[in-house]
Structure 1
Amino acid sequence: MAGYVLKRLLSIALTMAVMSVLIFWITQVMPGNVAYMILGDFASPQDVATLEAKLGLNDPAYVQYLRWATGLLQGDLGRSLVMDRPIAPVLWDAVGKSAILAGISIGLVALLGISLGVYAGVRHGRISDHIVSVATYINIAIPEFLWAIVIVMLFAGYLNWFPATGYSDLSSGFASWARHLILPVFTLVTGLIAHISRLTRSSMIDTMQTQYVRAARARGLPEKLVIRRHALPNALLPTITILAIDVGIMMGGIVVVETIFSYPGLGRLLMFAIQNMDVPLLQACMMVITFVYAAANLIADLLYAFLNPKVRYGRSSSE
């Protein structure tokens, strides 16, 4: 197990290195002048030359990359061109706010999605199973931005229960903090819960028909114990993989949700960097998103091994 963890950590390091090259190439080395992209096509040659010197664009591409990558390894994320301030404090503040939003959302997605999937799976073919299935199909068909618009119109506009936009610190009170989170979290959860519930339902249906579940029932074990101890741990194995994928999907959803709800997180900061052509800020945001996705896959693999002790990562089949 320790060898597998080390191998996965090395894989994450390699992934980050490859992605750093791609991100740098996409934002700075592609055909076209980055200085003109930032200043506009009608910028004066003097302004362009000044910005090129400031960004080091006159150096060879590999020198520019090494300088940027060395700064990343030392914790220097660079300086925002638009805000003219170090990127790190701004970025980590945004990451912290997005982590709160994403953490609550993925926790609710896992809890509610697995619960609905188990409920429908053990009642396969009944009316409750059909209701859950139809609801999840409808959920999958509706795009996330539409959910956000409907939620804002209903709960913030018509009912006036929650604020439509903004963020409130805990220093302003727990109630105010929670009220600003409810609508963004509800939007993210609504957009992802169907994936988990559908997969868990299918896994539960297959698992409930296995030989070891039938053997547990034959021993006279209560049905709830059979489901909780024998069926559920095995049915959750594919769900964990989808949860890791949903973390990546959620990173895209956060951009939409934070933009609609004016939530000052990583997604909104990324949109700010794109709209204002703030290349250093854009590079830093993309590297953080890459790391989050890689870390989510590592956690999913470790949970997979935890739920399935028979898995022996890093060993040959003969062992």
Structure 2
Amino acid sequence: MNTVLKIILQRLGLGLLTLLVVSIVIFLAVNALPGDFAQVILGQGATEQATAQIRRDLGLDQPLVMRYFAWLGGMATGDLGTSFAQLNFAQNMGGSGGVTVVEQIAPRFANTMFLAGVTAAIAVPVAVGLGILAALYRNTAFDKAANVATLSSISSPEFFMAYVLILFLAVLNPILPSLSNIYEGMPFGERLTRTLLPALTLTLVVVAHMMRMTRASIINLLASPYIEMARLKGIAPMRIIVRHALPNALAPIINVIALNLAYLITGVVVVEVVFVYPGIGQLFVDSVKIRDIPVVQACCLIFAAAYILLNLTADVMSILSNPRLRHPK
């Protein structure tokens, strides 16, 4: 157990180091974006004095290194700064303060997590079920059709799949709403209905990986001696897969599920923009348009942290489920 704990701590340390490196890349990339927030706010008729005054008020005239360490220190304490756009709006309205980045991101992040949760609740059972059936009826018409359908869905861009679903489920057959304009306090049933279309889009994108990994893992185990013994005893093929093969194939399946869940959080930007879903992806795109640097940096950092955390989770679960990794000697 001490060896397992040591390995987990090493992975966590590497994850924190990776997040630090990624934070440097995020800060440099965001500040290298063309355009300037002061010029975007003031428009084409902005004078140099007005632009310089806004840059001083926002601290954009300070050296890049000082701004990074100030942002890193605030990030370590949970302070991601104040939104430039909201601060400018408050000042125009006669106020002195603005909305913090945390206050602006928190409800959007909750919406994105709700979308990811609905997608996972649909995608994981469908993928595992299709993988089991494809392994049970391998090399049959069902197996080939499932592979063709899932590979076609994953090969298509997210926005294309989104528009196809909008055409068939919202325009030609008005079953679901084409816009996912949810709001705080909306009843759960209505929120779920408005979230189903983007969730189905993400499901079509991520289900192929999980289905094919489930199929490959189970087929690999079906050649094992204990599976052959179960067959000789006359046990039903479905029971052999569910009771004997599937539990031993969980390690790679869990790994690929965790990696696809990471994609659900980081890859929702295009889907949220298409469906006008008020999540963190939509906020990220809107903030890039107006060069709201603190919000863009915070969104990028959340995406990176979620991806690293879920990759670490997949790594740790692979270690815990594999005796050869738990006892490398």
Q: With structure 2 as the length reference, what TM-score do the two structures score? A: 0.86
Deviating more after overlay: 243-252 vs 272-281: 243-252
1:182 alignment counterpart: 196
Deviating more after overlay: 49-58 vs 210-219: 210-219
Instruction: Describe the shift of the 1:293–1:157 C-alpha distance in structure 2 as closer, same or farther (beyond 3 A).
Output: same
Unaligned runs of 5+ in 1: none
Q: Is the 8 A contact 1:274 1:282 kept in 2?
A: yes
Q: With structure 1 as the length reference, what TM-score do the two structures score? A: 0.89
1:93 alignment counterpart: 107
Unaligned runs of 5+ in 2: 88-98
Of the candidates 16, 19, 22, which is equivalent to residue 19 of structure 1? 22
- Kindly provide the amino acid, as one letter, of the partner of residue 106 in structure 1: A
Q: Is the 8 A contact 2:154 2:204 kept in 1?
A: no
Instruction: Describe the shift of the 1:173–1:56 C-alpha distance in structure 2 as closer, same or farther (beyond 3 A).
Output: closer
Deviating more after overlay: 131-140 vs 98-107: 131-140
Distance 1:170 1:82 in 2: 22
Distance 2:27 2:122 in 1: 35
Q: Is the 8 A contact 1:234 1:307 kept in 2?
A: no
Distance 2:265 2:151 in 1: 22
Cα RMSD after superposing both structures: 2.4
Matched residue SS, 2:268? helix
Deviating more after overlay: 143-152 vs 258-267: 143-152
- How much has 1:198 moved relative to structure 2? 1.9
Instruction: Describe the shift of the 1:18–1:42 C-alpha distance in structure 2 as closer, same or farther (beyond 3 A).
Output: farther
Determine if the alignment matches structure 1 residue 6 to structure 2 residue 6: no
Distance 1:240 1:31 in 2: 38
- Kindly provide the amino acid, as one letter, of the partner of residue 53 in structure 1: R
- How much has 1:233 moved relative to structure 2? 2.7
Distance 1:170 1:60 in 2: 40
Structural mapping, 1:1-319, within 5 Å: 1-28=4-31, 30=32, 34=36, 38=40, 43-84=46-87, 85-169=99-183, 171-218=185-232, 221-308=235-322, 310-313=323-326, 315=327, 317-318=328-329
- How much has 1:193 moved relative to structure 2? 0.9
- Kindly provide the amino acid, as one letter, of the partner of residue 245 in structure 1: L
Distance 1:42 1:67 in 2: 32
Q: Deviations over 1:176-206 (max 9, x none)?
A: 1221111111111012112211222222222
Instruction: Describe the shift of the 1:296–1:27 C-alpha distance in structure 2 as closer, same or farther (beyond 3 A).
Output: same
Work out the percentage of aligned pairs sharing the same amino acid. Answer: 30
- Kindly provide the amino acid, as one letter, of the partner of residue 10 in structure 1: G
Instruction: Describe the shift of the 1:33–1:100 C-alpha distance in structure 2 as closer, same or farther (beyond 3 A).
Output: closer
- How much has 1:129 moved relative to structure 2? 1.4
- How much has 1:65 moved relative to structure 2? 0.9
Q: Deviations over 1:267-315 (max 9, x none)?
A: 101111111111111000001111110111122223324443x1444x5
- How much has 1:175 moved relative to structure 2? 2.5
- Kindly provide the amino acid, as one letter, of the partner of residue 55 in structure 1: L
Deviating more after overlay: 135-144 vs 163-172: 163-172
- Kindly provide the amino acid, as one letter, of the partner of residue 54 in structure 2: L
- How much has 1:171 moved relative to structure 2? 3.7
- How much has 1:32 moved relative to structure 2? 6.8
Q: Deviations over 1:32-70 (max 9, x none)?
A: 774567556764211221232123233332211111111
Matched residue SS, 1:116? helix
Q: Is the 8 A contact 2:19 2:305 kept in 1?
A: yes
Deviating more after overlay: 12-21 vs 280-289: 12-21
Aligned residues between the structures: 314
2:91 alignment counterpart: none
Q: Once superposed, which parts of structure 1, at least 4 consecutive aligned residues long, lie more than 4 Å away?
A: 31-42, 218-222
Q: Deviations over 1:130-184 (max 9, x none)?
A: 2212222322332221111121122222222222113335743232122111111
